[in-house]
Amino acid sequence: MENRHHDLVVIGTGSGNSVITPRLDHLDIGLVEKGRFGGTCLNVGCIPTKMFVLPADRVVEAREAARLGVHVDGVRADWPAIRDRIFGRIDPISADGEAHREKADNVTVYREPARFTGPMTLDTGTGVTVSADRWVIAAGGRPRLLDIEGLDHVDPERGVHTSDTVMRMESLPERVVIVGGGFIAAEFAHILDGLGSHVTWIHRGERLLQRQDESVSRAYTEIAQARHDVRLRTTVTGARHDARGWTLTTTTEGGEPARIEADAVLLAVGRIVNTDLLDVAAAGLPCHEDGRLVVDSFQQTPVGGVFALGDVCSEWQLKHVANHEMRVVKHNLLFPESHVESDHRFVPHAVFTHPQIAAFGKTEQELREAGTRYLAYEQQVGDVAYGWALEDTTGFCKVIVDPDTRQLIGAHLMGPQASTVIQPLIQAAHFGQRADDVAKGQYWIHPALAEVVENALLGLD
Ligand SMILES: Cc1cc2nc3c(=O)[nH]c(=O)nc-3n(C[C@H](O)[C@H](O)[C@H](O)COP(=O)(O)OP(=O)(O)OC[C@H]3O[C@@H](n4cnc5c(N)ncnc54)[C@H](O)[C@@H]3O)c2cc1C
């Protein structure tokens, strides 16, 4: 076994890869990656899912166009063409990123699963054990599986998938069961149904997207129930595969059994951080109960010279958070005398379902439980002019403010382009603007969809 010492070792090429900037060209850097270069977001996460959501949107919009007096017949999605177009774009970006690092004089790329074997000593799995002056751990997470025979490992040949494999399926299954009630399950329910599968959706909880504000979770659950075969308060108890496909057995909270037949199963039951496989305990790095690395607001672990960023340590498993933390780590590596802190005050997120969902800050149920005083107002999309044009019946924008400062403490939107429509509210919260100033101190284009935000803020009066 060869031993090597680097100035800096980065584990993970998702947001971790972007830490390596030309300003670090004077350093001897080790870069460790076992999977596809570019990490989750580029290869199996945000980017391909949203590229699949768009054609699914087009199909659903074609169906919905009838309510506008437009009749579209014979809509058909071509799964192999969509899949090949998407990965035809993504795979070369991943390959180019890898080639770029491979040819850099100061970067050594290690392409195997790595594991700590002692205090900040990493077996790279390539026959080289490395140590370093400074470290960046950006090892992300992976999909959780079920502890049920047949569903305890990914098996694309027999149609058992997680988000890591489902987007590269050879063909679209006629019948698919999705297990899980979070945002990954929701986005794939839209994608797979939109592109032509029949979706049965199993979730243990009483509502889908339960971590969202209760208005959103309730409204979204109703929409999903109208579109898919949704089985709530239901648990998968067994799975059997034969020549006809999968038969899942389930039971409800009340103990009622059922059997569901399917050609494919998508497990979307949460994610686990990769600290176990990396054996961070051997390195002396402490973790939270859920496995995330402990870091302070400067993204430093308690071990000197070791930074972490993104899903491996973050409370928010989101790419824009991983990127924000990456910028903080990059600064703190470059300027050890003037460290900066991460800003996690108003972290927004979106769920690219149909309709879209977007939110930041506290939910009403959290505020109620904490006994915090607040003012909330919910504006329906269908009651603003652009909503009339859209014939929207389900969308809304809920704003929540502190009654004393009139500053935003949360916003919860559902409706067309919610992920974009929410941005002025994120901006207002971030810069401490008062709801009334945001509503009345600027023009809002009439009759644009953003008027739903203007009216929600005015409604707080
Ligand atoms: C289906 C899906 C959809 C998503 N959609 C969105 C979205 O719309 N918006 C959003 O903000 N977020 C989304 N996310 C979350 C987002 O993808 C992640 O938050 C983000 O990619 C995390 O980046 P990261 O750099 O922390 O980790 P990753 O990008 O996961 O990078 C970690 C890298 O470390 C490597 N690695 C791990 N352990 C080892 C080891 N022992 N040895 C060698 N290499 C190792 C991995 O192979 C991986 O490439 C989505 C996630 C999924 C799964």
CATH assignment at residue 453: 3.30.390.30
- The pLDDT, as a whole number, for residue 92 is 98
Task: Tell me whether residue 228 is one of the annotated catalytic residues.
Answer: no
Residue 301 within a domain: yes
Query: Does residue 224 line the site of ligand 1, with CB under 6 A?
Result: no
119 and 207 in one domain? Answer: no
pTM of the model: 0.97
Q: Categorize the per-residue pLDDT at 461 as very low, low, confident or very high, splitting at 50, 70 and 90.
A: confident
* C-alpha 93 – ligand 1 centre gap (Å): 16
Q: Which residue do the tokens 């590229």 mark? A: 51
Distance 138 CA to ligand 1 centre (A): 9
Which atom of ligand 1 approaches the CA of 110 most closely?
43
* Ligand 1 pocket member 191 (CB < 6 A): no
| C-alpha 271 – ligand 1 centre gap (Å) | 10
Same domain (yes/no): 288, 260: no
> Do 263 and 278 fall into the same domain?
no
Give the DSSP H or E segment for 241. strand 234-242
Domain boundary among 252, 269, 286: 269
Q: Has residue 148 been placed in a domain? A: no
State which of 15, 46, 112, 162 you would mutate to test the pocket of ligand 1, scoring each by most atoms of that ligand within 8 A of its C-beta: 46
Domain identity same for 394 and 441: yes
Cβ(140) – ligand 1 distance below 6 Å: yes
Asked if residues 400 and 364 have their Cβ atoms less than 8 Å apart, the reply is yes
Distance CA 258, CA 200 (A): 12
**Once rounded to an integer, what is the mean pLDDT over residues 325-337?**
97
Q: Is residue 350 part of a domain?
A: no
What single string gives the DSSP state of each residue in 278-315? HTHHHHT--B-TTSPBP--TTSB-SSTTEEE-GGGT-S
Q: Is residue 288 domain-resident?
A: yes
134 lies in the same domain as 164: no
The answer to whether residue 434 is domain-embedded is: yes
For ligand 1, the distance from its centroid to the CA atom of residue 39, given in whole angstroms, is 5
Do residues 9 and 68 share a domain? Answer: yes
| Protein residue with least CA distance to atom 30, ligand 1 | 140
Give the Å distance between the CA of 390 and the centre of ligand 1: 35
CA 213 to ligand 1 center in whole angstroms:
25
Domain total of the chain: 3
Q: E-strand spans in 392-451?
A: 396-401, 408-415
Q: Is residue 349 part of a domain?
A: no
Of 43, 319, 328, which is best to mutate to test ligand 1, by the most ligand atoms within 8 angstroms of its C-beta?
319
CA distance 47 to 86: 9
- 135 lies in the same domain as 176: no
Please check whether residue 134 is in contact with residue 8, taking contact to mean a CB–CB distance below 8 angstroms.
yes
Residue 60 is encoded by which pair of tokens? 């659903």
Instruction: For the chain, give the percent of residues with pLDDT over 90.
Output: 100
pLDDT digits (tens, 9 = 90+) for 136-180: 999 999 999 999 999 999 999 999 999 999 999 999 999 999 999
Our answer on whether the CB atom of 182 is closer than 6 Å to any ligand 1 atom is no
* DSSP SS3 for 302: coil
3-state secondary structure of 151: coil
**Given 269, 289, 311, which residue is the final one in a domain?**
269
Q: Mind giving me the DSSP string for 354-406?
A: SSEEEEEE--HHHHHHHT---EEEEEEGGGSHHHHHHT-SS-EEEEEE-TTT-
Q: Residue 228 maps to which CATH number?
A: 3.50.50.60
362 ligand 1 Cβ < 6 A: no
Whether the CB of 270 sits within 6 Å of ligand 1 = no
Find the domain containing 280 and state its range. 2-141+272-334
Q: Three-state DSSP class for 343?
A: coil
Q: Quote the pLDDT of residue 1.
A: 85
245-252, strands of its sheet edge to edge: 234-242, 245-252, 257-262
Phi, psi of 126 (to 5 degrees): -115, 15
User: Is residue 282 domain-shared with residue 431, that is, in the same domain?
Assistant: no
**Residue 430 counted as domain residue:** yes
In this structure, are 32 and 123 located in the same domain? yes
Same structural domain for residues 276 and 264? no
Check whether residue 93 and residue 104 sit in a common domain. Answer: yes
| Tens of pLDDT, residues 214-265 | 999 999 999 999 999 999 999 999 999 999 999 999 999 999 999 999 999 9
The reply to whether omega before 447 is within 30° of 0 (cis) is: yes
Last residue of a domain, one of 269, 291, 306: 269
Determine, yes or no, domain membership for 418.
yes
Q: Are residues 324 and 373 in the same domain?
A: no
